Chain A
Amino acid sequence: MSRVLLIEDDRAVRDGLQLALSRQGHVVDAVETGEEGLGRLASSEVVVLDLMLPGIDGFEVCRRIRATGDLPIIMLTARDDDIDVVAGLEAGADDYVIKPVQARVLEARIRAVLRRTTAEPKADPTVERHGELTLDRAGLVVAKNGSRVSLAPTELRLLLELSGTPGRVLSRQQLLESVWEHGYLGDSRLVDACVQRLRAKIEDDSAAPVYVQTVRGFGYRFGPL
């Protein structure tokens, strides 16, 4: 059971998703506008956010949530809004689903994104050091030069996944399966956008990354440092 904040302006869609998610055992706080939603962040574990909102739009809501914390965000978008997907991911969304969406698909995504916020049960309690980075897999804490780096759950999980096999190349599709838990061929832009955000937080120079390196034609690799 988790506390879901649903921000959706269309009443029918809002009611429908609220009903369906509630039946899955979630506590759903459904609001109509971004302004309303931003006031309820503290009591939520995950945000399901429609991008087309009256007043401040979904992108702005996304940015403000990211500015204040690491709450996971799942966007509700339309397939014919490709640019919206990219903009939403850049604004910091963790995942997206395309409307109309079946409740059980959205529910699976919510569970997947929430799993990223909890430690792996068999995680090694010792703290790993990679250059200036220290990774605490059990405590889900990342620090650079001793000061804690605030990472969104997906960014953190991506970093842990890559650093788990230093020097080994992981394809975008592999990362989509392991981090996003997309069971079928997923959207590689999710990975690219997340890598960009992660680099901005842990690299000295995002344009010349040291920790998360691109291997052209294959995917991403942690190090070699």
Chain B
Amino acid sequence: MTTGLRTRLVVAFALVGVITALAVAGGMYLKARTVILQQAQDAAVLALTDGVSRLDRPPPTRDRLQLIASGLSDRDDTAVAVYGGVSAGGLPLSVVPPELRDAVRGGHVAWQRVSVGGVTQLVSGTTTPSGLEVYSLRTLEPAAASIAELSTRAWLFGGCALVFALGLALLAARSVLRPVRELGEAARRMGSGDLKSRLDVRGSDELAGLAVTFNHTADALGRHVGELRRMEADARRFVADVSHELRTPLAAMTAVADVLEEEAEVLPADAAQAARLVSQETHNLARLVNDLMEISRFDSGAAALVLDDVDVAEAVRSSLRARGWLDVVETSLPPDVVARLDPRRLDVVLANLVGNALRHGGAPVSVALEVQPGWVVITVADRGPGLSSGVLPHVFDRFYKADSSRARSSGSGLGLAIARENARLHNGTLVAANHPDGGAVFTLRLPGGAR
């Protein structure tokens, strides 16, 4: 943008310089040219009329005409004298334009510029009361030379003015554009997250005012962002702290929950039911707290990948096998797809997607692995009713429940949010869509490829 502005400034200055120079030089040139030509003409016409006025009265003979003509000829002029159809002199009469002769015969002193052999010359003519016509040809070469020199000087002057204007333009562009560039640079830094970006305020012109405004805006923005971040960090820390605090009592409860479950058989019916309930809900609570801590780790940026080179098909199979899903899920898992990823996190994502498909979708649930250039793509699809258009944009939201009447499912409500965070942590994506033939399709794309 700054280059464009600089170019515009320089071009504008150059145009102003050139137009001014052209106007001044051109005007002077035209005026001077007129004056020089006028003077040359006047001198030529004056010489002719002066010479002719001193001529004798009697009608001249051819010799006399010759004499008159040579009397009027010199280094600059050649002349011809005409009387009653007889002409004599060094100037061929054909050079004299007919309209000029007509004017002279009419009793006027007349002149006309003609071009003879590419040289501008002046033909002037006059007549005496006795009917003697005299024409004289004078070269305007010296005047033309003067005009040419004038023209050269005008060009030179224009060129100098242009160079001067360009220099001035560059100087002006620099002094104006430096603060503009600094402003652009500071704004760019701020845009890329450096909220401490500020401008030095120099002088008190409009640009300095702009810098002051920028700095004030940056201060205000920094304050607001800081406040928002503090509030968000507080909220997240609260969740993390609560989860953390819940974990210790949960650890004790989880340790003995199995005992309750095992002993339920020998307890009275009510107590057995209570024992099973406590055991089951303890595990659910543990899962919820684990998920909360997991999402807190994503929020705080503490989540890190533990990368390994994984045979993806084998990893998917292990994940399904561990949960006893290998027989209930249709798989399409081509071998020899190796990707560098975090196997635990892949397991978390798959467990969520397949678990959801089995719970909420319709059979058959299928898991397909596919390699696209630079990507490993895993799709989990079911043939259930699919996701309604109202639900689709929110499936990855935390604690989003598709069906409000189903207040609690067996999941924590964080499963898909965690799945997507895991995909993002891999620089991958997880998207939900509906298959044209019905059913929901979740597509996990992770960077990597076959080998």
CB distance from A8 to the nearest CB of B (A): 9
CB distance from A187 to the nearest CB of B (A): 6
CB distance from A49 to the nearest CB of B (A): 14
> Which residues of chain B in 313-350 are interfacial with respect to chain A, using CB atoms and an 8 Å cutoff?
314-315, 318-319, 321-322, 338, 340, 343-344, 346-347
Within 8 Å by CB of A217, from B255, B304, B315, B451, lies: B451
Assembly CA distance A186 to B344 (angstroms): 6
Which residues of B are found within 8 Å of A100, using beta-carbon distances? 247, 250-251, 253-255, 286, 289-290
> Which residues of chain B in 228-264 are interfacial with respect to chain A, using CB atoms and an 8 Å cutoff?
240, 244, 247-259, 262
Which residues of A are found within 8 Å of B296, using beta-carbon distances? 80
Q: Assess whether A173 is in contact with B343, with CB atoms less than 8 Å apart.
A: yes
A-B contact pairs, 24 of them (CB 8 A): A10-B252, A12-B251, A13-B252, A16-B251, A16-B253, A20-B256, A23-B262, A78-B244, A80-B240, A80-B297, A82-B304, A99-B247, A100-B247, A100-B254, A100-B255, A101-B251, A101-B254, A102-B254, A103-B256, A106-B255, A173-B318, A183-B322, A185-B322, A188-B306
Assembly CA distance A10 to B11 (angstroms): 80
> Which residues of chain B in 287-301 are interfacial with respect to chain A, using CB atoms and an 8 Å cutoff?
289-290, 293-294, 296-297
Does B219 count as interface, using CB distance less than 8 angstroms? no
Does B437 count as interface, using CB distance less than 8 angstroms? no
Q: Assess whether B322 is in contact with A13, with CB atoms less than 8 Å apart.
A: no
Does B302 count as interface, using CB distance less than 8 angstroms? yes
Within 8 Å by CB of B258, from A15, A104, A186, lies: A104
CB distance from B235 to the nearest CB of A (A): 17
**A-binding residues in B (CB < 8 A):** 240, 244, 247-259, 262, 283, 286, 289-290, 293-294, 296-297, 302, 304, 306-311, 314-315, 318-319, 321-322, 338, 340, 343-344, 346-347, 451
Q: Assess whether B248 is in contact with A10, with CB atoms less than 8 Å apart.
A: yes
Q: Assess whether B248 is in contact with A103, with CB atoms less than 8 Å apart.
A: no
Going nearest first, the 8 A-B pairs with the smallest beta carbon separation are A16-B255, A12-B252, A184-B322, A185-B343, A188-B308, A100-B254, A16-B252, A100-B251
Q: Assess whether A16 is in contact with B256, with CB atoms less than 8 Å apart.
A: yes
Does A19 count as interface, using CB distance less than 8 angstroms? yes
Does A219 count as interface, using CB distance less than 8 angstroms? yes
Does A62 count as interface, using CB distance less than 8 angstroms? no
Within 8 Å by CB of A10, from B244, B251, B318, lies: B251
Q: Mark A24-47, 1 if CB is under 8 A from B, else 0.
A: 000000000000000000000000
Which residues of A are found within 8 Å of B247, using beta-carbon distances? 78, 99-100
Nearest-CB residue, chain A, relative to B346? A185
- Residue with the greatest number of chain B CB neighbours at <10 A, chosen from A15, A19, A79: A79
CB distance from B257 to the nearest CB of A (A): 7
CB distance from A123 to the nearest CB of B (A): 28
Nearest-CB residue, chain A, relative to B243? A80
CB distance from A117 to the nearest CB of B (A): 24
Assembly CA distance A12 to B255 (angstroms): 10
Q: Mark A131-173, 1 if CB is under 8 A from B, else 0.
A: 0000000000000000000000000000000000000000111
Q: Assess whether A79 is in contact with B293, with CB atoms less than 8 Å apart.
A: yes
Does A64 count as interface, using CB distance less than 8 angstroms? no
Q: Assess whether A103 is in contact with B258, with CB atoms less than 8 Å apart.
A: yes
Which residues of A are found within 8 Å of B286, using beta-carbon distances? 100
**B-binding residues in A (CB < 8 A):** 10, 12-13, 15-17, 19-20, 23, 78-80, 82, 98-104, 106, 171-173, 183-189, 217-219
Within 8 Å by CB of B251, from A13, A171, A217, lies: A13
Q: Assess whether A101 is in contact with B255, with CB atoms less than 8 Å apart.
A: yes
Q: Assess whether B344 is in contact with A185, with CB atoms less than 8 Å apart.
A: yes
CB distance from B102 to the nearest CB of A (A): 107
Q: Assess whether B253 is in contact with A79, with CB atoms less than 8 Å apart.
A: no
Which residues of A are found within 8 Å of B293, using beta-carbon distances? 78-80
- Residue with the greatest number of chain B CB neighbours at <10 A, chosen from A17, A101, A102: A102
Which residues of A are found within 8 Å of B319, using beta-carbon distances? 184-185
Nearest-CB residue, chain B, relative to A9? B248
Which residues of B are found within 8 Å of A10, using beta-carbon distances? 248, 251-252
Which residues of A are found within 8 Å of B311, using beta-carbon distances? 171, 173
Assembly CA distance A124 to B375 (angstroms): 46
- Residue with the greatest number of chain A CB neighbours at <10 A, chosen from B293, B340, B346: B293
